[in-house]
Chain A
């Protein structure tokens, strides 16, 4: 579905990303993890077509992302960014319905109401439908924005730290939504900081360190005590809980 080859991004003479290659298949959740400043967000921006890489190529279904028109790209991939403020007091239902706008002139637009309602239900914000977005709490805004991305109904979904503003329960809920999307046959790429959360919900993990792809594979392949210690510079213990790796810093 998505294929990145030898991605390189330079900023002010410094390599932000260097020779990163990876593939994301339909039906899988790929988690991008790594220390602050490792280049995760830049990689996400390159994969989603926001940023043109200085070298290398990104393709969706074999087509170069940079060559796809705005409107069509919006029907192929949706992006949940970290910045989700809304300038004017739109209602929650209106904000989620904005996710349908790429489909406005397509046959799919007949499903608009159903898709929006389902997105509101799945993200647990249906009860906020008539509220003004600008009056919501940080966690509510994050979930409404997720609902908007869900309503866009694209085969590829990028989520940039979707759990950052959320409490424990809603973190789990959001990652469960990501899993459900993958089960529906979509390709999901999610940037996460919580290694245990990434280990529990992703099919594969890509560990980014100093702008390079340090390791990619199943959570238990990538998350070894030795590797996490080396990349993060922190001694950790790894536990196995129900078949998923759980990372605990040695305190």
Chain B
């Protein structure tokens, strides 16, 4: 299959999955809503009066207060995490780098937990997001500078650094759980599990804005990311200011991961699975990869969230649990394949 055809197939597949996932998420739930009512309600919101729109105000508010913000949150968080993964893999020159695996997500969660326990969260959602960003940024910087040697990152060093960062952040979270009152404790547990339950439009807006900024920056930097695949020295010989690219990329990763973790908690492996799958279909060139990852990440989280809230009747499984359930074995498969191909862990 040639290049354009693959790209077209992927675009159509993602569009179909996206539409199907969004409609299914809006329709399914404790209160059944028909697809026609969903479409009608959306049209009415756009100012087009129509006969499908639900007349029942409970249906209307279920859609606009509960389901639509949750779907929108799934889309933007999925995009943020997948793009963060793609950017991280580009600067580490390693397809196994992922915000959850190397500890950036737990760094962000620790930051958010500190904000909650210290009581800064009273200042609003922005304060938690800021702390999550700072926690994520510190973790990213730490992992980056510890695990790099000669312009590349070896898998062993990367994963061991990840273990260390996750252990430290885990201990920090445990300590905060220990000293926190029961209300804060519940909030922290929520962060560790990850859930899209109770997403509000105001939160969606913050995540969407940050994601838009991060995604745009990542697309602008797509070409230097390609060159970085040649190794840092070669990229520098081709005119890339590697030091600046690194710093900007680390900020992008921390922003995207931090804002996602701040509002929905730790949802691991999205940044690993999505860019990897996209790379297999359309190749590693970063411009297309980053765009496809953003859409693919949104699709994955919408579908995962649908599964999370329908697999146990009446219950709402934490979505982070679900993505780890799938992502863990997938990660193992990648490691296994890399070992078989290169004959080692390096």
Interface residues of chain A, those whose CB is within 8 Å of chain B, are: 48, 50, 70-75, 77-79, 81, 83-91, 94-95, 98-99, 101-102, 104, 148, 152
Instruction: Say whether B220 faces chain A, with CB atoms less than 8 Å apart.
Output: no
Contacts of B238 in A (CB 8 A): 74, 98-99, 101-102, 152
Instruction: Say whether B304 faces chain A, with CB atoms less than 8 Å apart.
Output: no
Contacts of A152 in B (CB 8 A): 238
Q: Please, which residue of chain A has its CB at the minimum distance from the CB of B244?
A: A70
Contacts of A83 in B (CB 8 A): 150, 231, 233
Q: What is the CB-to-nearest-CB distance from A34 to chain B, in angstroms, rounded to a whole number?
A: 22
Instruction: Say whether B223 faces chain A, with CB atoms less than 8 Å apart.
Output: yes
The listed residue (B223, B236, B279) touching A101 by CB distance below 8 A is B223
Task: Identify the interface centre among B95, B152, B233: most chain A CB within 10 Å of its CB.
Answer: B233
Instruction: Please tell me if the beta carbons of B233 and A88 are within 8 angstroms of each other in the complex.
Output: no
Q: Please, which residue of chain A has its CB at the minimum distance from the CB of B241?
A: A70
Given contacts A101-B223, A104-B223, contact A86 B237 (CB under 8 A): no
For the complex, what is the distance from the CA of A149 to the CA of B263, rounded to whole Å? Answer: 47
Instruction: Please tell me if the beta carbons of B227 and A101 are within 8 angstroms of each other in the complex.
Output: yes
Instruction: Please tell me if the beta carbons of A78 and B237 are within 8 angstroms of each other in the complex.
Output: yes
Instruction: Say whether B226 faces chain A, with CB atoms less than 8 Å apart.
Output: yes
Task: Identify the interface centre among B94, B234, B238, B239: most chain A CB within 10 Å of its CB.
Answer: B238
Q: Please, which residue of chain A has its CB at the minimum distance from the CB of B223?
A: A101
Q: Which 9 residue pairs are nearest across A and B when measured between Cβ atoms? A: A74-B239, A88-B284, A87-B93, A71-B239, A87-B229, A102-B239, A79-B237, A70-B239, A70-B241
Q: Please, which residue of chain A has its CB at the minimum distance from the CB of B95?
A: A88
Contact with A along B88-107 (1 / 0, CB 8 A): 00000111000000000000
Instruction: Say whether B230 faces chain A, with CB atoms less than 8 Å apart.
Output: yes
Task: Identify the interface centre among A70, A75, A84, A87: most chain B CB within 10 Å of its CB.
Answer: A87
In the complex, number of A-B residue pairs with CB atoms less than 8 Å apart: 74
Contacts of A102 in B (CB 8 A): 238-239
Q: What is the CB-to-nearest-CB distance from A143 to chain B, in angstroms, rounded to a whole number?
A: 15
Q: What is the CB-to-nearest-CB distance from A146 to chain B, in angstroms, rounded to a whole number?
A: 12
Instruction: Say whether B117 faces chain A, with CB atoms less than 8 Å apart.
Output: no
Q: Please, which residue of chain B has its CB at the minimum distance from the CB of A97?
A: B226
Q: What is the CB-to-nearest-CB distance from B149 to chain A, in angstroms, rounded to a whole number?
A: 12
Instruction: Say whether B219 faces chain A, with CB atoms less than 8 Å apart.
Output: no
Contacts of A75 in B (CB 8 A): 239
For the complex, what is the distance from the CA of A79 to the CA of B237, rounded to whole Å? Answer: 6
Q: What is the CB-to-nearest-CB distance from A10 to chain B, in angstroms, rounded to a whole number?
A: 21
Contacts of A99 in B (CB 8 A): 238
Contacts of A88 in B (CB 8 A): 95, 229, 279, 284
Contacts of A87 in B (CB 8 A): 93-95, 152, 228-229, 231
Instruction: Say whether B285 faces chain A, with CB atoms less than 8 Å apart.
Output: yes
The listed residue (B150, B152, B229, B234) touching A90 by CB distance below 8 A is B229
Given contacts A50-B237, A90-B285, A98-B238, 7 further A-B contacts (CB under 8 A): A81-B237, A85-B152, A87-B228, A88-B284, A89-B279, A89-B283, A102-B238
Instruction: Please tell me if the beta carbons of A95 and B236 are within 8 angstroms of each other in the complex.
Output: no
Instruction: Say whether B240 faces chain A, with CB atoms less than 8 Å apart.
Output: yes
Instruction: Please tell me if the beta carbons of A48 and B284 are within 8 angstroms of each other in the complex.
Output: no
Q: What is the CB-to-nearest-CB distance from B79 to chain A, in angstroms, rounded to a whole number?
A: 21
Task: Identify the interface centre among B227, B233, B237, B279: most chain A CB within 10 Å of its CB.
Answer: B237
Q: What is the CB-to-nearest-CB distance from B197 to chain A, in angstroms, rounded to a whole number?
A: 36
Contacts of B226 in A (CB 8 A): 90, 94, 98, 101
Contacts of B279 in A (CB 8 A): 88-89
Contacts of A79 in B (CB 8 A): 233-234, 237
For the complex, what is the distance from the CA of A91 to the CA of B226, rounded to whole Å? Answer: 12
Q: What is the CB-to-nearest-CB distance from B90 to chain A, in angstroms, rounded to a whole number?
A: 8
Contacts of A101 in B (CB 8 A): 223, 226-227, 238-239
Contacts of A50 in B (CB 8 A): 233, 236-237
For the complex, what is the distance from the CA of A79 to the CA of B234, rounded to whole Å? Answer: 8
Contacts of B233 in A (CB 8 A): 50, 79, 81, 83
Q: Please, which residue of chain B has its CB at the minimum distance from the CB of A89?
A: B284
> Which residues of B278-307 have CB atoms within 8 Å of chain A's CB atoms?
279, 283-285
For the complex, what is the distance from the CA of A84 to the CA of B241, rounded to whole Å? Answer: 19
Contacts of B227 in A (CB 8 A): 98, 101
Q: Please, which residue of chain A has its CB at the minimum distance from the CB of B226?
A: A98
Contacts of B229 in A (CB 8 A): 86-88, 90
Q: Please, which residue of chain B has its CB at the minimum distance from the CB of A90?
A: B284
For the complex, what is the distance from the CA of A235 to the CA of B236, rounded to whole Å? Answer: 41
For the complex, what is the distance from the CA of A102 to the CA of B237, rounded to whole Å? Answer: 9
> Which residues of B79-128 have CB atoms within 8 Å of chain A's CB atoms?
93-95
Contacts of A98 in B (CB 8 A): 226-227, 230, 238
For the complex, what is the distance from the CA of A48 to the CA of B234, rounded to whole Å? Answer: 12
For the complex, what is the distance from the CA of A90 to the CA of B239, rounded to whole Å? Answer: 19
Q: What is the CB-to-nearest-CB distance from B172 to chain A, in angstroms, rounded to a whole number?
A: 32
Q: What is the CB-to-nearest-CB distance from B316 to chain A, in angstroms, rounded to a whole number?
A: 38
> Which residues of B15-49 have CB atoms within 8 Å of chain A's CB atoms?
none
For the complex, what is the distance from the CA of A147 to the CA of B233, rounded to whole Å? Answer: 17
Q: What is the CB-to-nearest-CB distance from A54 to chain B, in angstroms, rounded to a whole number?
A: 20
For the complex, what is the distance from the CA of A228 to the CA of B152, rounded to whole Å? Answer: 37
Task: Identify the interface centre among B93, B94, B239, B283: most chain A CB within 10 Å of its CB.
Answer: B239
